[in-house]
Structure 1
Amino acid sequence: MRRRLINSTLAVVLVVIAVFGLSLVIVESRTIESSAKDAVQSDAIQLIGVVENRIAAGEKVSPPALTRQIDSRRYAVVRVPGQPPITLGTPPSGQVVQARRDGVHGESVVVQEPRSVISQEIGRTLLVILAVALLAIAAAVVLAIGQARRLVAPLTDLAETAERLGSGDPRPRHKRYGVPELDRVADVLDASAERIARMLTAERRLAADASHQLRTPLTALSMRLEEIIATDDHDTVKEEATIALGQVERLTDVVQRLLTNSRDPRTGSAVAFDLDEVIKQQLEEWRPAYRGEGRGISRSGTPGLRAVGTPGAVAQVLATLIENALMHGAGAVGIHTRVTGNQVVVEVTDEGQGVPADLGSRVFERTVSGRNSTGLGLAVARDLAEADGGRLELLQGRPPVFALFLAREGAPGAATRPAEDDQGPSPIR
């Protein structure tokens, strides 16, 4: 493309030079020739005037008196009656430009100029025109190279940017080139890069959230199945199987919420529900794991509270806090419920060392972990809490106290869906 731009620019310049240069040569040649003829005529008129004046004054017409009247490059012949012809200058050879004037006393003057002098002047003019044309061509070459570089380099850069986008590197360049059309293309590519980056981030985040949210129900389900395998008591098997079916429904609800959030994260599912039922379910699911570690888990606080939110999401948040206490905490774990203003608060605490001081509130950030875990659990839990208007906070570092704040049923601004969802999550059909 660069070569085509240079060639096209040079072609335009050469055509312009050819058209205007030839016209200028013709005009200048005619002008020089016309000026030479006028000059010869002027010398003849001036010379005849001097001769007439001297004859009228009775003075002698001699070469010294006439030499200064004509250009040294010209040749003149003066004829006065009764005198031999007077010649001035050197007789020219070849073609000449000639002018003749006759006086009232019978005298005559002939002035000649060699055409070679005119040709030389025309040649010098042609050299000047040729030099100007060459300078114009050189300037055109420099301009063409500059323009080609200015246009081709940005196009090459934009092509590389598009190639990077296609290869999975969505970083915007934010580079502009001073050409409105190219800058518009760069704007579109940068906007596309930002959209692709957001989509890739959302997909990766969804995959990470899905893996983490599915892990806890699967772990609980695995524990129930292990209990079934380890016992021969029919009633125990039936009880554990019933709990396992409930966990399957919870797992199905997690999948449904993940799919719903991936389509439209603004879709809410807040309902009024019995908080005691969710806490009881979590205690039943996690007691076997705590017994296996020689630790206890209990519930205290205000009973009979009804909150507004998504039961499955609240269960997932509590499961994350209970699992973190099992993995990173120590001693007994307590779940305490209370009311503050228009909110219901569920606190989860243990007797361990708590959250390191250098982490503090950063413990809710993704990839931030105190003990080489994924760092997703608390971040996902906070997102789940905030999805229906609640919030998850670290109230105390040592011993650790995590608090889930939910809107209380009947409180101003606690919007819920129809009560049919109060029965808990239903499997996908």
Structure 2
Amino acid sequence: MRWRLTLLVAATTTLTLVAFLVPLALLLRDVAEDRATDRATADVQGIVPVVGTADRADIEIVVEQLNAAGRRVTVFLPEGGAPVGAQAARTPAVELAATGTSLTAARDGGREIVIGVGRSGGTAVIRTVVPEADLHAGVTRAWLVLAALGLVLVVVGLLVADRLARSLVRPIDDLSAVSHRLARAELGARAVPTGPPEVREVAGALNHLAERIQVLLREEREQVADLSHRLRTPLTALRLEAESVRDPDERARVTAGVDALERAVTGLIRQARWRSAPSASATCDAVEVVRDRVEFWSVLAEDTGRAVRLSSVDGPLPVGVAADELAAAVDAVLGNVFAHTPDGTPFAVTLSADRVLVVSDAGPGLSAAVVSRGVSQGGGTGLGLDIARRAAAGGLDISDNPGGGAVVTLRLAAPPSS
């Protein structure tokens, strides 16, 4: 924008100067030609009385003085004979002046001035020529001065335009920088209202928007935290119920489930209240998290008659995602296996050294519609695989096994370099 404004001013200034300086240059040329012509005419008119009354000898003396001063003067006498002064042929202008007419005619190399003078015995003609060099004396220098003046004016105009454009563009660049900071979740970023009134108004609107976003996020976090906190009461009741179960194995399984749910709720409360932006340095051991979640789901798999196969590299395998987020992603994928396949359907979990987590089953397959956030064909919220996608920074793919069933592939990111 800055360069466009400067270019616009440069074009406007150049056109204005051309429209002004070109006619002025032509006028200077015409003035110089008229000045030289008038000077020569005045010189020859000074000898008109002599030509009209004196004899040939006196006329020769006066004409020689003019020619010695740089004029090319010729006098054609009516008595005939050779012309007085510079040798010249009788031109059509001389023939016309012999009838008593005075005139100025253009000719190659300058201008021809002829004056008819009445004399006894006829009309004498005084002729002089103004060379091209005399007609345009000083014109070239004047044109160079005008060109230099025009160039200086263009440069000054560019400097002024650049300063004005900078005063307009700098506040806009500041607004752009603030908007990018807000996009990076730096909600404390604010624009300084500077520049033209319109830009200041935009800055104020952007600051108001940032404040409104802060308020909405704070209210949302508080609502989520309050909702999560309310879950503690039923969790406490579930724990009491679990402790009252007589079967030790059953009591241990239910207690483990309650503990996992309580950890998830606690993490949700902590994130809702204190996390303003995702941590760029979150890491965990993928092998440990995957084994823990598969072990957790193995109890339910055993109850529903499902065979579970876990293939994992030897740990540790660090990945660039928090442990609770990776656990939530694994839970979401495995939960879909239980939700969308009948009892007795086996499934397998594979974690490779290149940080690729694959969950496959032998069920009817998983529709692509399940991947859409908020869309579910199974009565759920449709958010499970969206959680898995956010944890899989390298991408999430869903495909069908050639022999039947679904394959969900999560490509986990490497941990950030220290």
TM-score, normalised with respect to structure 2: 0.41
Q: TM-score, normalised by structure 1?
A: 0.40
